[in-house]
Chain A
Amino acid sequence: MNELNPSGWRPAMGASAPPDTIETFTGNRALQLEEALLFELGSPDRSGVDFDDIPDFDTALLGPNARKARLDLPGLSEPETVRHYTRLSRQNYAIDLGLFPLGSCTMKHNPRLDEKVARFPGFADVHPLQPVQTVQGALSAINELAVWLIELTGMHGVAMTPKAGAHGELCGLLCIRAALEAKGDPRAVILVPESAHGTNPATAAFAGYRVENIPATTDGRVDVDALKARLGPDVAGVMITNPNTCGLFESELKNIADAVHAIGGYVYCDGANFNAIVGRVRPGDLGVDAMHINLHKTFSTPHGGGGPGSGPVVLSEALSPFGPLPFTSRQADGSMKLIEEEQAHEEHPQAFGRMCAFHGQMGMFTRALTYILSHGADGLRQVSGDAVLNANYILRSLEDVLDAPFGAAGPCMHEALFSDDGFAEGFTTLDLAKGLIDEGYHPMTVYFPLVVHGAMLIEPTETESKAGLDQFIGAMRSLAERARAGDELLKSAPHLAPRRRLDETLAARKPKLVYKPA
């Protein structure tokens, strides 16, 4: 008898067999259901949508390129479609299922009010090129979010159109380039710390700059002396992540910014980790000239299995005149104006151009604004406080079993960083990460940042309860001990997931990117 089964009744049990030796006819394992490919299930004749028949359809106005054969795209009826995608969905891990500790990704709860609001017809069912008089509410929503972003960062302006973080980085660098060119002083080099996310150097290269790396110090921060030594008239600017990818605050950012400004350069801040400081620190107070904000991180628009994101870029007074088109502007009478190419000559003559068609990620704006209004200034401050508290709780609860390379230096920000130091010979970060899958968690970010050997970057976010963190810590301690002891079963983990480890080498050597019938 126990608490859950006070009657003490037990079903009669058959002869026990270890579950992994039981074969099933279907390949399914109870609720773990295999699902064939759409192309093995559907046919072009089947459809889940009804249309009226159009007898005697005339193709004359389509011209000579009118299609001769029907497209070979398989269709399914609605019940089959719903089942196909429901079954597939169950092979995914998700925030809704549990803690998702991916460092620098800020996988926090996605409030459902945000989903509901984004679907209001005034946001979801308006066309981007409708006359401005018919979309005043939509423009107003963009503008309200813009004002919040400016206030929360202490900056001067904001470019709303970038479609993701990397797109925002590009926007910021193009502002810097435009500002330098306007001064007749184009420069060639962007400095990037070696701990930076890969998008930073890729973006700088895409914007036409030569990238030079700046080393990190042993305490996990940018080497300020090395950076200052490299500053010169060819340096357009620096890209710094703050808090950085080691989960630490770059305490010297203001000094760095002053030095960069002194040589006529600009400071780009990667705002991927803004969740750690929102409501407590304004990047504008630290001398930042441009910073993107991943709305899909700090402001909790859903990650959706890899996007869509949204990456508005807040800008200093020096860079604001160069921001891209289009943007919104509130008039004295409260009405909204849209500044596009037509008005740019008079209202925004130095715009560097356009990042994309239309106005940016409206569906993400409405979600983020709803999130921000729900939290308010006090709630957002609590967000960063709890996010940092949760990360430090993990750091201090694990540092006796996992090496925390910067643990001795003081508190971390919103993510805790560990290395593979102390694992048994032949055991790696990947083994521990895959073991976490069997424990029912998504692994943390692994092998990033590059400056720490076998890095494990854990970001719990503020939406985890203490009980949830305690269970995760228990699982991590168990795994750390197994990795230190050299438990062979860990090397072949996961054992309990829908798939075991996948052959990535085969995938890359013989790429199969589309289905081809056998």
Chain B
Amino acid sequence: MRYLPLTDADRDAMLAVIGAGSVDELFADVPAAARLAEPIAGLPNHASEMAVERHMARLSADNLTAGAAPFFLGAGAYRHHIPASVDHMIQRGEFLTAYTPYQPEIAQGTLQVLFEFQTQVARLFGTDVANASLYDGSTACWEAIAMAARITKRNKAIISSGLHAHYVETARTMAKFTGDELVTSAPELVAEPDDAAVIAAIDGGTSCVVVQYPDVLGRIPDLAAIAQAAQAKGALLIAVVTEPVALGLLESPGSLGADIVVGEGQSIGVGLQFGGPYLGLFGCREKFLRQIPGRLCGETVDADGKRGFVLTLSTREQHIRREKATSNICTNSGLCALAFSIHMTLLGGEGLSKMAKASHMRARQTAERLSAIPGVAVINRHYFNEFAVTLPHDARQVVRDLADRQVLGGVSLGRLYPHVDALSGGLLVAATECTTDEDIETFATTLAEVLA
């Protein structure tokens, strides 16, 4: 077995030191009835690298990849170009095969990356501070809701209808068990986001308002107005960013008054990966520091006075506080945070702005072209790189028909909201700098064909 260095002679020599006759003897504490005498039956035995690679390649080939078709999916996961150096750097063994940096003297590489990552996220979000990442956007969103309840000592969260359906479901699952109340509704296919309804729902028992920016239909809420209304009633505004590239062209949520900003970092550096691992982003006001979930990296000095970094404020965390911790999170999304940070370093402010402009322009071209198809109407008044259209048929079937013709033509709202009939004709369409003229043309002609 190529991954196991011990030889039989080694094993014998070691057993002699231990004073055991066999490896099986070392398992004497396992009740005999539960000890398996042989490898588990019915499962294959070890295989060569070549054989395993062949099997996995066959599974990989049985998919229509985003790069092999005109591709217009978004809804919380976006396909941006990732420079080759990003994946190369994250494969350096010193990053890839390191553990959580509990021994800072020999983990300054990871720690400095996390400090830089926190700073990048805080600047992107317009928040005072940011953490060292969480699992993904949906779990970060729930952590923010739980944190708002701790801070305000209230437990009613007003969830905008524009929050991604899976994020709502994730929060709903958790709230069932924590006893938090969530006020939710499905989105409507109208040009403007539901700012007015959200503001009207805020009352003295509201812990937080959760608003996606841009929202699930790509519309752009007026965060400043919602922040003001929430804060006037002692509630916090949680802004949720599922497409951080948008912030290259939109004002940051923090600068518009959001108290906590969470997001999905996948679209910068991480890649689609069929949904994971992704990267939860979390930033907030400095005064909430001791309520933040997850790891935090901070600057300090060593015994010689040299600048260095450590994991800090761990008295919030499970390994110290146990059942009184701010969160049960232990592992975060370190390597994805590294990928995000490297890509962001390659981009810089100017590069992010250009990538955002190219994405917006491609979305506009797509919207324009699709609008020319009879029966297709763009809903949004404003959008960044994703918008909703209405189709004359059930969009779920249309998406499947497009896929039969090798076109990946967006996400049907029926997939996200299967029980809301009014949304069944809705289709979410996203574009990025990867989208080409040819993609747009093929998408439009194929859609016209499918609808005809």
Contacts and interface: CB of A to CB of B under 8 A. Distances in A.
Interface in B261-303: 264, 271-278, 289, 295-303
A513 B312 CA distance: 9
Nearest to A37: B116
B199 interface: no
Contact of A117 (B53, B90, B297, B404): B53
A45 B354 CA distance: 12
B33 to A, nearest CB: 8
Interface in B219-272: 220, 222-223, 247-252, 256, 264, 271-272
A199 B319 CA distance: 7
Interface in A249-266: 249, 251, 254
A63 B381 contact: yes
B347 interface: yes
B320 interface: yes
B119 A515 contact: yes
Given A119-B87, A308-B336, A463-B4, A151 B40 contact: yes
Given A86-B92, A511-B298, A502 B350 contact: no
Question: How many B residues are at the interface, by size bracket?
Answer: 35 or more
B77 interface: yes
Interface stretch (A1-9, A10-18, A100-108, A313-321): A100-108
A45 B349 CA distance: 7
A437 B300 CA distance: 20
A70 B107 contact: no
A302 B296 contact: no
Interface stretch (B54-62, B154-162, B440-448): B54-62
Interface residues of A, number: 201
Interface string A270-291: 0000000101111001100000
A482 interface: no
B308 to A, nearest CB: 5
Contact of B97 (A96, A134, A503, A515): A96
A67 B330 CA distance: 36
A285 B34 contact: yes
Interface string A69-101: 011111110100110111011111111110010
B28 A411 contact: yes
A81 B76 contact: no
Contact of A357 (B58, B67, B275, B322): B275
Contacts of A511: 289, 296, 298, 312-313
Contact of A163 (B108, B139, B334): B139
Interface in A492-518: 492, 494, 497-504, 506-508, 511-515
B47 A376 contact: yes
Given A86-B89, A282-B34, A306 B277 contact: no
Given A308-B276, A411-B29, A113 B53 contact: yes
A110 B97 contact: yes
Contact of B277 (A203, A303, A310, A448): A310
A480 interface: no
10 contacts: A47-B348, A48-B85, A82-B85, A102-B99, A151-B42, A198-B321, A254-B31, A363-B273, A437-B106, A502-B104
B152 interface: no
A38 interface: yes
B109 A377 contact: no
Interface in B25-65: 25-31, 33-36, 39-47, 49, 52-53, 55-65
Contact of B351 (A47, A177, A389): A47
